[in-house]
Amino acid sequence: MREGARLRLDYSAQSLWRVDRTIEEISRQGAPYAAVETVLRGFGAYAGEVVVRLTGGEWWSSGGDHWVRTPDGRLWDPIDEARRCHRGDGSLRLLCRDATSGTA
């Protein structure tokens, strides 16, 4: 990722496209997980907050782990999803789509 790059985020579902692409770019550049762990956690927390705001959900935590609980009772782990994105098998955008699919 280029130094000084700015990522404009507005807590919209659409902004998660940019987050997914940024994680893909970090991964493509070969950044080891240990070097980007904090950034991935931040991206996951951002995605979780998007879900909370769009659904009226709430954050849950236990033993250092954090999830989002949507009003329909489902639990989501956006921080783990960000880690999966780095491995090439996750999408914060799709997590948000799935989490918001049960809302009106």
Span 31-70, pLDDT tens digits: 889 999 999 999 999 999 999 999 999 999 999 899 999 9
Q: Taking a C-beta distance cutoff of 8 angstroms, is the pair 82, 41 a contact?
A: yes
pLDDT of residue 31: 85
Residue with tokens 């849950």: 60
Tell me what percent of the residues of the chain surpass a pLDDT of 90. Answer: 87
Q: 74: exposed, middle or buried (C-beta count within 10 Å: 0-12, 13-18, 19+)?
A: middle
Q: Taking a C-beta distance cutoff of 8 angstroms, is the pair 44, 13 a contact?
A: no
